[in-house]
Amino acid sequence: MNTGKATLVLLLGMLLVAASEMASRGAAPETAATRIPLKTDVSPSRDLRDSGDGAEQSLLMRGEDDGAGLVNDACGDSCDSGTSCDSGTSCGSCGSCACGGTCVPRVRLFGDFLYLRPRNAEVPYAVPYNGPITPPPAIPVQVGRIATVDPDYEPGFRVGIERCLSECSSIGVTYTQLDTSTSDAISVGESYVLRSMVIHPSTFDAGEDGLDAAASYDIGYKLIDVDYRRIWLCGPRHRLSYVAGARYGRLEQSFRSTFGTLGTESVDTNVDFDGGGIRVGLEGERQAACSGFLVYGRAAASFVAGEFRGRYFQGSSEDTEIVNTSWKAGRIVPMLDLELGVGWATPSGRLRMTAGYMVSAWYNTVKTSDFIGAVQTNDFGGLSDTLTFDGFVLRSELRY
């Protein structure tokens, strides 16, 4: 939660900077992008067209670089008439793809506030039932809600820095972290009992059923991305870039449950993943013609090779170690990240604020519920499932 508060403070500070910049610009009578010097001597052989050597571009087709690597819109600077250079252009000669300015900022700093929820991650741990007390695999007659720990939305963060390599390309580093935690408890009256859904079935006896149960579940991930980014198509108000790089990923899942029987029965599990691999993607944005508003989209696919490690421990107040086992196996985990949103940029382009919705899917993943099931059935082959994260993202970005 501290990281979430710090990110909100950063967002508020950047909003104040944006307001100050807009106020100062409102007080200025004119800008470099809108000043058009007059020529008193115009020969018939020269009109307001580019002569071809780049030294005498049309004054109506030339913008001014604002120092942030962006260009003020001087391409036919009439909002009503639009711009004549807003066509898809290959960024082979990026010096002219944005009406004479550079395509990428020299330095880009950004911080994101994430509000995400893991899905397809729940762990059922107990069920109330009525009937004869028979050991598994007999199926109890359920008489109440299935006690489950299911993560909800939690705050996270993403920060990054990017440095240009040329007018068209840049290299950057991004760090992302999300930590979620949830808990649940259930109690029944003396008419019913609770059956554990996570203990090892071979350890069951009549005393295993009880009246109280509780569980907690933590799941989170850390990502480090190193990306090379190059503009593919661009214009004064649109841009499409491709991304290629590397990703390191770590996934952590921790589960603990306790049952009130004649004593106390507990089950603890940990399932972790570490790996690294390649990452490719596309990023695009489109700005409105006469305002700072924009829409954007990002899509990336990563293929991370690593190793899953699982541990299962069961104990009680009478026997501190009933089951203690571990497992590990190699996996390639494909990750698909999608994000769409809207935003606003100051007239200079130095400050941007965006808000969007993102989905991240981790394929070929070992989840806690699957690992517990493998221990209970003694079948560890073919452990594979999909884990997803989705939610909202707010970004503040500074460009120099």
pLDDT confidence of residue 117? 98
pLDDT confidence of residue 132? 61
Q: Classify residue 51: in a domain, yes or no.
A: no
pLDDT confidence of residue 234? 86
pLDDT confidence of residue 162? 96
What residues are paired with 388 via a beta bridge? Answer: 119, 361
Q: Classify residue 50: in a domain, yes or no.
A: no
Instruction: Provide the domain count of the chain.
Output: 1
pLDDT confidence of residue 207? 59
Q: Classify residue 75: in a domain, yes or no.
A: no
CATH number at residue 317: 2.40.128
CA distances in angstroms from 259 to 192, 196, 267, 329, 335, listed in the order given: 15, 8, 9, 30, 36
Q: Classify residue 225: in a domain, yes or no.
A: yes
Mean pLDDT across 28-49:
40
Q: Classify residue 25: in a domain, yes or no.
A: no
For the segment 52-76, what is each residue's pLDDT rounded down to a tens digit? 443 333 333 333 444 444 444 433 3
- State whether residue 218 is helix, strand or coil: strand
Q: Cα–Cα distance between 107 and 300 in angstroms, integer?
A: 22
Element (DSSP H or E) covering residue 178: strand 169-187
**Is residue 204 very low, low, confident or very high in pLDDT (cuts 50, 70, 90)?**
confident
- Residue among 194, 219, 218, 211 at smallest CA distance from 125: 194
Q: Classify residue 46: in a domain, yes or no.
A: no
pLDDT confidence of residue 354? 97
Tell me the residue range of the domain where 325 lies.
107-399
Asked whether residue 249 carries a pLDDT value surpassing 50, the answer given is yes
Q: Classify residue 343: in a domain, yes or no.
A: yes
Weakest mean pLDDT among 1-10, 50-59, 210-219: 50-59
pLDDT confidence of residue 400? 87
CA distances in angstroms from 125 to 31, 95, 119, 178, 310, listed in the order given: 65, 61, 17, 24, 18
Mean pLDDT across 119-128:
94
- Residue among 124, 125, 260, 265 at smallest CA distance from 203: 265
What angle is formed at CA 70 by the lines to CA 294 and CA 284, rounded to 5 degrees?
40
Residue carrying structure tokens 């490690």: 309
Q: Classify residue 101: in a domain, yes or no.
A: no
pLDDT confidence of residue 188? 87
Asked whether residue 346 carries a pLDDT value surpassing 80, the answer given is yes
Mean pLDDT across 364-373:
96
For the segment 141-183, what is each residue's pLDDT rounded down to a tens digit? 788 899 999 999 999 999 999 999 988 999 999 999 999 999 9
Residue 191 near residue 130, CB atoms below 8 Å: yes
CA distances in angstroms from 390 to 336, 354, 361, listed in the order given: 12, 17, 9
Q: Which residue has the higher pLDDT, 285 or 42?
A: 285
What is this structure's pTM? 0.77
